């Protein structure tokens, strides 16, 4: 198969300039951010306004090379990478569900952003509870770690 190539469709602006100190997930993020879509893709934003939340897919452009086992932010022992949401992955594609506060032309103002400033945007999808919300699902090792850290450090990112 030929290589699978992605084209950034925009950029994510946030107050988080570096991984250390940034929230590890949108659920722990209070910050507002802006999702700025390139003009060629602006028309495709139509009708997003009715959704409370949206998925952002983006490229972890500052992540370290992946490793098969990692010590994730929420534990002190190693887990298989695919059992974590660590950014250093074979295909470093991140997904975050954020609150859609409003649209201003080809910019979306979002709440609860956990993404680093300047991150390349790959896709926007609507959040649909009937498809995406499974509140009772067991969450493996994470179920015992609910009180663990909500803020990142530099472990999964390259030095500046």
Tell the smallest beta-carbon distance from residue 139 to a copy of itself (Å).
Answer: 5
Asked whether position 6 contacts a copy of itself by CB under 8 A, the answer is yes
Q: CA dist 129 to 30, 107, 113, 117, 137, Å?
A: 22, 24, 19, 28, 14
Q: CA dist 8 to 33, 55, 61, 79, 142, Å?
A: 18, 15, 11, 31, 32
Surface-to-core class of residue 143, CB atoms within 10 Å of its CB (0-12 exposed, 13-18 middle, 19+ buried): exposed
Counting residues that bind a copy of itself (by CB under 8 A) gives: 67
Distance CA(120)–CA(7), nearest Å, equals 9
| From candidates 18, 36, 51, 151, binder to a copy of itself by CB under 8 A | 51
User: In the chain, what is the greatest distance between 2 CA atoms, to the nearest angstrom?
Assistant: 46
Q: Residue 10 or residue 19: which is nearer to a copy of itself going by CB?
A: 10
Asked whether position 140 contacts a copy of itself by CB under 8 A, the answer is yes
- Say which residues have a Cβ less than 8 Å from residue 7's Cβ, sequence separation at least 6: none
Tell the smallest beta-carbon distance from residue 42 to a copy of itself (Å).
Answer: 8
Where in 86-125 is the site for a copy of itself (CB under 8 A)? 89-91, 93, 95, 97, 120, 122-125
- Give the binding range for a copy of itself (CB under 8 A) out of 13-21, 55-63, 151-159: 55-63
Binding site for a copy of itself (CB under 8 A): 1, 3-9, 25-27, 41, 43-53, 55, 57, 59, 61, 66, 68-69, 79-85, 89-91, 93, 95, 97, 120, 122-143, 146
């Amino acid at each position: 198969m030929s290589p699978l190539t992605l084209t950034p469709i925009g950029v994510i602006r946030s107050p988080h300039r570096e991984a250390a100190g940034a929230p590890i997930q949108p659920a722990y993020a209070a910050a507002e951010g802006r999702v700025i879509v390139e003009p060629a893709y602006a028309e495709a934003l139509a009708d997003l306004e009715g959704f409370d939340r949206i998925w952002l897919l983006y490229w972890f452009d500052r992540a370290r090379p992946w490793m098969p086992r990692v010590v994730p932010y929420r534990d002190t022992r190693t887990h298989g990478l695919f059992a974590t949401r660590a950014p250093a992955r074979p295909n470093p594609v991140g997904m975050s569900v954020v609150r859609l506060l409003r649209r201003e032309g080809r910019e979306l103002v979002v709440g609860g952003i956990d993404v680093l400033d300047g991150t390349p945007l790959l896709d926007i999808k609507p959040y649909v509870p009937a498809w995406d919300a499974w509140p009772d699902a067991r969450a493996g090792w994470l179920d015992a770690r609910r009180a663990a850290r909500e803020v990142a450090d530099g472990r999964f990112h390259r030095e500046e």
